[in-house]
Amino acid sequence: MLVAGACTSPTGDVSSSGSSSGGPIDPEARSDTLPGGPPGSEALAELPGRLAITATGELVLTDPTGGSAEVIDSAAFVAQPTWAPTGEALAWTRADGGHAEVRIASVEMIAAEPEDRLEFVESIDLDDRPAIYLQWNTDSTRLGFLQAEDPQTADTPGIQLSTVVVADGKVSNLVSAASVYFSWALDGSGVAVHQGSDVVVVPRLADAPPLARSEGWFTAPAWLTPDTLLVATAGSLDRLDTATGEATSLLTLEGATEFVVNRTRSHVAFLQPGAGYLTVQAPGPDTAPDEQRALQVLDIATGDLALVGPRAGEAAIPIAFEWSPDGSILAFFAPSTHRPDLLRWYFWQLGPGGGHIVGASTAFTPSAVSVQQYLPFFAQYAQSATGWAPNSSAFAFAGSIEAVSGIFVLGATPQSVYVGPGDYVTWSPANVQGAGRSFL
């Protein structure tokens, strides 16, 4: 149960509050400070999976307690750790001395002795243009990545999408456009690409006309079935048949939207200005109409809508969101109602009547890396990385709670537990074990 009212600090300070009953709670009726008490990290020891953390030019891997933390790479720039869906490998981007690359490490490398690790690393040379986003295909055999086009060869420099075959390191450049977002097909055979104002599928329909015209109404497409995509076009959230190009409207939109489909592909959460059935006013006397935003969840099968937040009169306007691995809980990021200068992760669970909020993190300041590199593109990152534990029982995030900065885990205890230093964290999709000795 994700309920938090305090934080366990590295010095062992705790304040306990909140409910563990499983019913609706008031997530704001709790302390936003970092009081005193004993360490709570012991409760994290039973959590599955591993954390990949970036911390000022270092890539750190650890169990959820932080007790096995070990630096596996360091450079002037290290970012975007991305676990393979099978949990068998980890990819990340790095740059140092004017040279950029993507590194792909198998779990054998992770478990090897430090002096032997490079034997298990595949390095993809990117010249001087670092990858800015990584995404594995579903069977972990290929990796897609974005990078800036080469300004010396591009007429109008934009973003380039490339893929690499992990087995042999072969790189293919697929598309280039002013803006590019993408999603691997569920069978791993192709990539849905939102390039500029067009939605295409590569390579299955590489020579066909665009399947849809987005006109900038959304960022990343999402697959619902092996043959259907979710996209947004002018005034509509559409289910798109990639074989025929036929679009079926699921919902009328009143503005640009961001959406994230849950892992079971039964529900889609979406955020847009001026939600159709309830207009929610953002805080502040000078709020413009395009700043009115509400987070809603659509049941794809029934068409039923549920309002997640904010409710009428609330100030907590959602900024970003992602679903738990089991598809039942939506984590969303919003200002704290009682402390609007700080933010919280709120947790909304599907249930009778749509759903309800079941918990919230301690109010905190997010890390600069999270704000600058990840939150603006959260709908894309929700398809490739997550703060959720693989069993949906806990959630990790990066930020500062009072004077303590780093990585925190919420869910195993009623407190946000400090794990260690870092500015970004992503949780592996499964228990990760290597050959020879246990992970790290």
432 inside domain: no
Amino acid identity at 135? Q
Domain with residue 369: its CATH number is 2.130.10.10
Secondary structure of the chain: what % helix, strand, coil (to 5)? 10, 45, 50
Q: Are 281 and 293 in contact (CB under 8 A)?
A: no
Name the least confident of 101-115, 162-176, 221-235. Answer: 101-115
Q: Which long-range contacts does 231-236 make (Cβ < 8 Å, 24+ apart)?
A: 231/194, 231/199, 232/256, 232/257, 232/259
Kindly state the average pLDDT of the residues 103-109: 83
Q: Which residues 6+ apart lie within 8 Å of 76 measured at CB?
A: 57, 95, 96, 97
Q: Write the CA distances from 414 to 34, 113, 365, 435, integer angstroms.
A: 13, 37, 19, 35
> What pLDDT is recorded for position 120?
74
3-state secondary structure of 124: strand
Select the more confidently predicted residue: 316 or 200: 200
> What pLDDT is recorded for position 185?
92
Given a cut of 90, whether residue 35 has pLDDT beyond it is no
Read off the pLDDT band of 4 (50, 70, 90): very low
The residues with which 349 forms a beta bridge, in sequence order, are 329, 356
Domain count, the chain: 1
Q: Which residue has the tokens 């909020």?
A: 357
| CA–CA separation, 51 and 190 (whole Å) | 29
User: What pTM did the predictor assign?
Assistant: 0.84
Given a cut of 80, whether residue 37 has pLDDT beyond it is no
> What percentage of the chain reaches a pLDDT higher than 90?
45
- 371 phi/psi in degrees, rounded to 5: -70, -40
260 is in which domain, residue-wise?
A: 6-427
Given a cut of 70, whether residue 143 has pLDDT beyond it is yes
Kindly state the average pLDDT of the residues 19-41: 35
397 inside domain: yes
Residue 325: asked if its preceding bond is cis (omega within 30°), the reply is: no
Select the more confidently predicted residue: 219 or 233: 219
What average pLDDT does the chain have? 79
Read off the pLDDT band of 416 (50, 70, 90): confident
389 inside domain: yes
Kindly state the average pLDDT of the residues 408-426: 88
Name the least confident of 79-93, 286-300, 311-325. Answer: 286-300
| CA–CA separation, 434 and 109 (whole Å) | 8
434 inside domain: no
> What percentage of the chain reaches a pLDDT higher than 70?
76
437 inside domain: no
The residues with which 296 forms a beta bridge, in sequence order, are 270, 307
Dihedral over alpha carbons 426, 143, 378, 193 (to 10 degrees)? -170
